């Protein structure tokens, strides 16, 4: 008889905990390996922009951070939805483990955007459609995390914040287009992030390398956080006591 | 089918009766709205030209805040005395009951805002067609606020610091309504016509009517577990 693969083996926190522990170093090293050439390319290889000079180089942090901020929200909502539908504990833990990293990248994107905006636009903050919707995304992350933190019972907290994350996902496109139309109606010929002509190949490579680095970092950090979450939520389980016993701790 | 409409009508009648017995609660929201709108000229200055420009935004933001403050009353008293638990156990589908509660809630906390808004608009020297569009946009927009707010109210039932939390959850989701509600008045005053904005608000209303009672019911079931 052919051996049946148990697809759900690692959906149990007990089985996933050691696996996550083994995966963290790999992703952390990968993050480092992408960051070093990524930074090298962005600072030394990519040429200075003919219009924006050296200041454009913050884009190599800003653009990947903005990508990640949106991507993580989608992944988080996906996990949250899975947790609601399949009632699997691990997926809701993953959702709450991803939220702080997503919020951090959103904040980073706003921060670097404003650093770039000062020399380019002459203002720290412009009510540009992208900036505004990124700010609203930050509010959504904060709402998700504070609802999760406000409910003491972890199962109810996970399910309630999952509903909120899904409502947020339905709303994100609506919010994005509202803000976009609002912006074009109000400002007429507004200043938008200049797309530039076609991008230099080395700039593209630097951007992709940095995006990969952020991606690996996100996975490593989310796994670390989910391990803590597993221990906290399963603290009454036998196997947690086993794992935490001093003789086995290394 | 008849049992559904009967349940809906029963919930609406009950909630309105309860609200009319406690009239002060209803009036508090209304006066909050009036006071917030009246504060802005004191802060910004009495120049009519400025006031006319900020009027749609001010009235709409105040409406957002007022309807958010009223959210706590939507489910809380039923939650506390156990009525909500009985509603969850009834054979009628929960989204219909939630829709009834939202509708009743809008009648007592949203509709008064719509009716008094033109009066506040006069204080801001809005032209007559501006007043009309302001009231119209609020008429279409405030039900959306109540519907989205129901999700937030259901999620924060019995949660520590629920009142402040609900604002964090709900206000970002209100943004599209604010944009097109205030935008409708702006557009009509600048001669562009408010039809596009009002149509979009109507679309939001239809979308929220379909999705929000369902999401709020899911949230209520989670809160009552």
Render pLDDT for B41-65 as a digit per residue (tens, 0 to 9). Answer: 999 888 888 888 889 999 999 999 9
Chain B CB contacts of A170 below 8 Å:
211
Helices (H), chain A: 13-40, 59-86, 89-121, 129-150, 154-187, 201-233, 238-244
Q: How many domains, chain A?
A: 1
Render pLDDT for A233-244 as a digit per residue (tens, 0 to 9). Answer: 888 888 888 887
With beta carbons less than 8 A apart as the criterion, state whether A42 and A57 touch: yes
Residue among B175, B218, B222 minimizing CB distance to A136? B175
Is A156–B223 a contact, with Cβ atoms under 8 angstroms apart? yes
> Of the candidates B146, B126, B157, which has an alpha carbon nearest to the alpha carbon of residue B64?
B146
Taking residues A15-38, what's their average pLDDT? 88
Is B215–A166 a contact, with Cβ atoms under 8 angstroms apart? yes
Q: Is residue A9 part of a domain?
A: no
Distance CA A94, CA A101 (A): 12
Q: How many domains, chain B?
A: 1
Chain B CB contacts of A160 below 8 Å:
155, 219, 222-223
Residue that has been written with the tokens 């009628």 in this structure: B92
- Give the residue from A178, A183, A184 with the most B CB atoms within 10 Å of its CB, the best one to mutate: A178
Domain that holds residue B193: 2-224
Band (pLDDT 50/70/90 cuts) for residue B1 is low
This complex has an ipTM of 0.85
Distance CA A11, CA B30 (A): 51
Which percentage of chain A shows pLDDT scores above 70?
A: 88
Domain that holds residue A32: 20-46+57-187+199-244
User: Dihedral angle at the C-alpha atoms of B34, B209, B154, B2, nearest 10 degrees?
Assistant: 110
The pLDDT value given to residue A180:
78
Is B187–A167 a contact, with Cβ atoms under 8 angstroms apart? no
Say if residue A246's pLDDT is above 80.
no
Q: Is residue A239 part of a domain?
A: yes
The pLDDT value given to residue A238:
82
Furthest CA-CA distance within chain A:
71
Taking residues B8-34, what's their average pLDDT? 90
Per-residue HEC secondary structure of B34-75 comes to HHHHHHHHHHHCCCHHHHHHHHHHHHHHHHHHHHHHCCHHHH
Q: What is the pTM of this model?
A: 0.86
Q: Is residue A3 part of a domain?
A: no
With beta carbons less than 8 A apart as the criterion, state whether A38 and A32 touch: no
| Candidate from A110-119, A155-164, A199-208, B213-222 with smallest mean pLDDT | A199-208
The pLDDT value given to residue A206:
86
Burial of A161 (0-12, 13-18, 19+ CB in 10 A): buried
Q: Is residue A14 part of a domain?
A: no
Question: A92: which 2 tokens?
Answer: 């809701």
Q: Is residue A41 part of a domain?
A: yes
Numbered residues of chain B with Cβ closer than 8 Å to any chain A Cβ:
151, 155-156, 159-162, 165, 168-169, 171-173, 175-176, 179-180, 183, 186-187, 204, 211, 215, 218-219, 222-223, 225
The per-residue DSSP string of A139-165 comes to: HHHHHHHHHHHH-SSHHHHHHHHHHHH
Q: What are φ and ψ of residue B184, in 5° steps?
A: -60, -45
Band (pLDDT 50/70/90 cuts) for residue B4 is confident
Q: Is residue A157 part of a domain?
A: yes
Distances from the Cα of B213 to the Cα of A142, B11, B208, angstroms? 24, 14, 8
Q: Is residue A5 part of a domain?
A: no
Q: Is residue A38 part of a domain?
A: yes
- Give the contacts of A181 (CB within 8 A, at least 6 positions apart): B179
Q: Which A residues, 64 through 123, put their C-beta within 8 Å of a C-beta on chain B?
A: 84
The pLDDT value given to residue A2:
59
The pLDDT value given to residue A175:
81
Chain B CB contacts of A181 below 8 Å:
179
SS3 at position B153: helix
């Amino acid at each position: 008889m052919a051996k049946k693969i148990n697809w759900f083996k690692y959906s149990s926190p007990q089985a996933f905990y050691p696996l996550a522990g083994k995966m963290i170093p790999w992703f952390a090293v990968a993050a480092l390996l992408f960051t070093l050439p990524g930074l090298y390319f962005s600072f030394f290889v990519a040429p200075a922009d003919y219009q924006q000079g050296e200041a454009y180089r913050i884009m190599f942090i800003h653009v990947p951070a903005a990508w990640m901020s949106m991507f993580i929200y989608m992944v988080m909502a996906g996990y949250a939805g899975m947790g609601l539908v399949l009632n699997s504990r691990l997926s809701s833990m993953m959702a709450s483990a991803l939220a702080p990293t997503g919020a951090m990248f959103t904040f980073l994107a706003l921060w670097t955007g404003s650093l770039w905006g000062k020399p380019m636009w002459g203002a720290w903050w412009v009510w540009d459609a992208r900036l505004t919707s990124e700010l609203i995304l930050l509010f959504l992350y904060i709402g998700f995390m504070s609802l999760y933190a406000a409910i003491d019972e972890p199962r109810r907290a996970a399910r309630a914040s999952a509903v909120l994350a899904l409502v947020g996902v339905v709303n994100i496109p609506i919010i994005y287009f509202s803000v976009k139309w609002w912006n074009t109606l109000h400002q007429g010929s507004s200043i938008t992030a200049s797309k530039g002509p076609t991008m230099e190949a080395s700039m593209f490579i630097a951007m992709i390398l940095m995006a990969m680095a952020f991606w690996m970092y996100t996975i490593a950090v989310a796994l670390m956080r989910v391990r803590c979450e597993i221990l906290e939520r399963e603290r009454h389980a036998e196997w947690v006591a086993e794992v935490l016993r001093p003789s086995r701790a290394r | 089918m008849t049992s559904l409409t009967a349940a809906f009508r029963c919930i609406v009648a009950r909630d309105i009766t309860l609200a009319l017995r406690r009239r002060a609660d209803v009036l508090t929201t209304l006066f909050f709205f009036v006071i917030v709108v009246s504060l802005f000229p004191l802060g910004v200055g009495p120049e009519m030209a400025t006031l006319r420009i900020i009027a749609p935004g001010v009235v709409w933001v105040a409406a957002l805040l007022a309807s958010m403050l009223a959210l706590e009353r939507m489910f809380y008293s039923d939650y506390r005395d156990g009525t909500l638990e009985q509603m969850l156990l009834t054979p009628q589908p929960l989204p219909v009951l939630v829709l009834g509660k939202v509708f009743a809630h809008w009648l007592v906390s949203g509709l008064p805002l719509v009716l008094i808004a033109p009066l506040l608009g006069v204080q801001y020297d809005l032209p007559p067609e501006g007043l009309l569009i302001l009231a119209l946009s609020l008429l279409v927009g405030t039900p959306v606020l109540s519907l989205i707010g129901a999700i937030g109210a259901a999620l924060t039932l019995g949660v520590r610091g629920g009142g402040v939390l609900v604002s964090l959850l709900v206000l970002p989701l209100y943004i599209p309504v604010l944009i097109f509600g205030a935008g409708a008045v702006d557009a009509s005053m600048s001669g562009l016509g408010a039809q596009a904005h009002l149509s979009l608000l109507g679309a939001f209303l239809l979308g929220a009517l379909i999705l929000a009672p369902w999401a709020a019911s899911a949230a209520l079931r989670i809160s009552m577990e």
